[in-house]
Amino acid sequence: MGEITGGELVVRTLMQAKVARIFGLHGAHLETIFQSCLSHGIPVTDTRHEAAAGHAAEAYARVTRGLGVAMITAGPGFTNVITSMANAFLDRTPVLYLSGAAALRDTETNTLQAGIDQVAVARPITKWAERITVTREIPRLVAHAIRLATSAPTGPVLLDLPSDVLTATVDEGSIEIPTTIVLDSPASPDPRAAAAALDLLATAARPVIMVGAGAYRSRAEEELRTFVETTGIPVYSDFEAHGLLPANHPLYGGTFHKMADLPTGTDGIDVVLGLGVRFGLFTLGGSGRLVPGTAKLVHVESDAREVGRLRDAAVPIVADPRATLQALALHARERQWPDRGAWQRTVAEAKVARRERLRSALDRKSGPIHPLQAVDAIVSNLPVDTIVIGDGAESYHWLNEVIHQNRRGSYLTHGFLGAVGFGMGLAIGAQTAEPKRRVLCLAGDGAVGFTIAEFHTMMRHRLPIVVVVMNNSSWGASQHFQEIVSGPARVTGTRLGEALYDQAAAAFGCFARRVTKLEELAPAIRDGFASGKAACIDVAIDVAAIPPEVELLMSRF
């Protein structure tokens, strides 16, 4: 056997972990990894900005429910990906960030793209971050990083790779690549806690199930459906868990915020089964919470830090959501469950009533396109099984009103960081993960400007993503906040002015269309998908309208 480089050891360990795709930008520090990827046939989707590479790795992890890998060079390459790293950290997305670094021999020499401690910067926003200083230790530490990223609670990790550690060689025969990298041993619930949960749910008059990203990542769709159909308990969802119970299922109530439409007081929710849900921003309503303070909570979470963080749990279960549902479903069949027809009708009627409250916007006949009309037309013209990305401080809130995916992991949107401008990167990662499915990215005009050059990435890699820009010539959420808090005469720094994003996309070779009338939108969406290449549909919408969700959030300031 001969000598192999540190970059080769990185790639061989990734291969052992079944990594089939990497996202990144080239940098000289990482050349040995790029060359080894080329030799082994591992494709690298190179983006135009490191932020997009990081977000693409996030989406790849979210769609596949596996590991995403982003490779970025030292210095500005690393600093450009920090937003993605923080986003993955807050949303617990398993991404391995491989950052190039200056050679160890050049420490304190003022060399190129050095002088910052990349590991120290990354530690507060990762599960684990470390610098590899010995070439032969690369397989062990890469495996350790992947193991940490993919074990519950999942999250991002960083490995800092000095260039001389990557270019150094070791005897191939002296190195062993770890064989056990990704662990598959989800925690099961305590039988007493499972029994207590069933007792509480069986005696509830108005229970609901809330499923979050943790339930989706545990692959709990079959177990959820079995339990729901056995017990008759309605379901609400958020994040990738939208579609975990298909939106066309009669017991599906909608995304979390639609729980605010249910009755309150003595007629409101009395018991909640929270599966992989982190209470906080996305469980807040107009009264401060979507779940009434009087409701009892069965909280199932893989991370003990989330149980009791904001509200007491009558039955706390620190375990894997899927394993818990399996235990619950097994014993649920042995019980007599009450007739919940009246409560199920209440949930169904709330969905209809919300749609009717928004009817005036949908029926508008004149003036600019109302954003709700736009998203309704978009969702109504999606090919079957399309993955939808929502990006923008207000755009995705409008999308939340009409989205109805029937397949889990098909709706990717903002998490706890609220990182506007990640949609193009997410779309690239999603399309790469699922090349046979269609992908649509809905972005505000502010959001699309962050990484507009990624239209070029889509064209270079032949990714037929349709990007719809909701163009109101404004940072809409900020403008509306100013108008409400400071007054209409005090709007400053939030108006974007006229820009035609379809023309920018056309310059990169994309299919492009400008839409100013509602009747033009459906044909434009269909033509964009039919074009077979990346597409940009620039839709002029009304800036005045405020999404109901945003009004609730603004009421808290």
In this prediction the pTM is 0.94
Same topology, domains 3-174 and 191-349? Answer is yes
Residue 161 · residue 99 · CB < 8 Å = yes
Token pair listed for 271 = 């018991």
The SS3 call for residue 12 is helix
Q: Is 224 exposed, middle or buried (0-12, 13-18, 19+ CB in 10 A)?
A: buried
DSSP code, position 556: T
> Under CATH, what is the fold of the domain 191-349?
Rossmann fold (3.40.50)
CATH 3.40.50.970 for the 358-554 domain, yes or no: yes
Say how far apart CA 177 and CA 210 lie, in whole Å: 41
- Bridge partner residues of 249 (DSSP): none
For 274-303, how does the pLDDT look when each residue is reduced to its tens digit (9 = 90+)?
999 998 877 765 445 788 888 999 999 999
Q: Is residue 5 within 8 Å of residue 36, measured between CB atoms?
A: yes
Partner residues linked to 207 by β-bridges: 271
The three-state secondary structure class of 404 is coil
pLDDT in tens, 203-222: 999 999 999 999 999 999 99
> What does the buried/exposed string (b/e) look like for 292-302 if buried means 16 or more CB atoms within 10 Å of the residue's CB?
beebbbbbbbb
Residue 532's alpha-carbon distances to 216, 390, 462, 517, in angstroms, are: 30, 21, 9, 24
SS3 356: helix
Category of 462 on φ-ψ map: left (φ > 0), alpha (ψ -120 to 50) or beta = left
Quick one: pLDDT band at residue 554, thresholds 50, 70, 90? low
User: Tell me: the pLDDT tens digits for 79-136?
Assistant: 999 999 999 999 999 999 999 999 888 888 888 788 899 999 999 999 999 999 999 9
Domain boundaries, the chain: 3-174, 191-349, 358-554
Spatial separation of the C-alpha atoms in residues 369 and 379, rounded to whole Å: 15
Query: How long a stretch of residues is the chain?
Result: 557
**Superfamily for the 3-174 domain:** Thiamin diphosphate (ThDP)-binding fold, Pyr/PP domains (3.40.50.970)
Instruction: Name the average pLDDT for the chain.
Output: 92
Q: Which residues are catalytic?
A: 29, 50, 113, 418
Spacing of C-alpha 210 from chain mean position: 17
Q: And the tokens for 554?
A: 């603004």
